[in-house]
Structure 1
Amino acid sequence: MSKSIYADWSGHHVKLTWIPGNTYPDHGKVTSVHGYCMDGDKILLVHVAGRGFNIPGGHVEQGETPDQAFHREALEEGCVEGDIGLLGMIEVSNEDNPLYDPSGKYPFIGYQLFYRMDITACLPFSREHETLCRIWVEPGEVPYVMNDHELALLILEEALSQK
């Protein structure tokens, strides 16, 4: 079920719309990838410097597909590998953002893709990247540990329904 909210991202008024499903948008408009990494009935959360606890994710690098980017981010931030499936995407619209810069690095309409990963390998935690630590939480504890917008919990529900 689609749902839209508005968020303030460093003074930028952006519209975020959750669009569930496994259809990919134009890869050139995908700005980041994120995912709920599942190990049995536990969810991996990582503490990224300056962001607090959240799910693994980050920007798509030049030459990567979104799937490759998510595998890389899960490995870098959580030191995990696994099988992934696309849950859907958040459309990030700048239509009501008076600070939008058309010559900036983000498109007027961009997409953040969200995955579910079923972990097949949990490697020793390395702290080689911006992640300070990782924890495993029960799904019901996620709202008390992760500080994110309300769509994150809607996406969690989608990830849990994909068992």
Structure 2
Amino acid sequence: MTLESRIYVNWGGHHVKLTWCPRKIILDTSLVTSVHGYCFHEGKILLVYVKGRVFNNPGGHIEIGETPEEAFHREAFEEGYVEGEISYLGAIEVSHEENLLFDPNGKYPKIGYQLYYRMDIEKCLPFERENETISRIWVEPEEIPYILDDHRLSLIILKEALKKD
């Protein structure tokens, strides 16, 4: 593991360690806190603007009874109105072991995972704005660092997603 694949972030005052784990399989899906992905269409990447946030990849939480793959398909459709084939890229391990504000009775595990996928879009439907997303844009891969407002692990994951091209 490179030093570059482990970072610390401040999420609402919480000191959280994030570690990118390429292709790591998470068997206990109760530890999966969210799913996300890079969606490709005609050489460009889909970014969505969710109300109250910034442009980012489609993604979100798993609903009861869903597999992580089903959740990502649902999120990509709800946020970007796209459908396609997905492939698994890996997971970000989200560790609260050094977080002095961690609540062991809260909704997140002490060590959880955010799973990442690549979608090759097969169907791009009209953008309806029926859910929480108010805009979608198509971005050249080399422009992502200037638009995506996220931690630097997202760019490492982008490199993994681009290897599939």
TM-score (norm 1): 0.97
> 1:25, 1:111 within 8 Å by CA — same for their partners in 2?
no
- Please give the alpha-carbon distance, in whole angstroms, between the structure 2 residues aligned to 1:152 and 1:48: 17
Whole-Å separation in 2 of the counterparts to 1:100 and 1:44? 33
Q: Which SS does the other structure have where 2:93 is aligned?
A: strand
1:79 corresponds in structure 2 to 81
Q: Distance in 2 between matches of 1:22 and 1:150?
A: 19
Q: Distance in 2 between matches of 1:46 and 1:59?
A: 16
Map of 1:131 onto structure 2: 133
Q: Supply the AA of the counterpart residue of 2:146.
A: Y
Match in the other structure for 1:59: 61
Which residue does the alignment assign to 1:94? 96
Structure 2: which 5+ residue stretches go unaligned? none
Give the share of equivalent positions with the same residue, in percent: 64
C-alpha distance 18-25 of structure 1, shift in aligned 2 (>3 A): farther
Aligned mates of 2:18, 2:24 — CA distance in 1: 18
Post-superposition offset of 1:68: 0.3
Matched positions, count: 163
TM normalised by structure 2 equals: 0.96
Q: Secondary structure at the match of 1:162?
A: coil
Give the AA of the match of 1:78. Answer: G
Q: For structure 1, list consecutive stretches of 5 or more residues without a partner in the other structure.
A: none
- Residue 45 (1) aligns with residue 28 (2): no
How far is the alpha carbon of 1:22 from its aligned partner? 5.5
CA distance in 1 between counterparts of 2:83 and 2:132 reads: 18
Equivalent in 100, 104, 107 of residue 105 of structure 1: 107
Secondary structure of residue in 2 paired with 1:141: helix
**CA shift at 1:25, angstroms?**
3.7
- For 1:61 and 1:140, the matched residues in 2 are separated by 33
Deviates more, 1:82-91 or 1:19-28: 19-28
Residue 30 (structure 2) aligns with:
28
| Cα contact 1:81–1:121 (8 A) shared by 2 | yes
Please say if 1:9 is aligned against 2:11: yes
Structure 2 counterpart SS, 1:16? strand
Q: Return the alpha-carbon distance in structure 2 between the equivalents of residues 22 and 14 of structure 1.
A: 20
1:129 CA displacement: 1.1
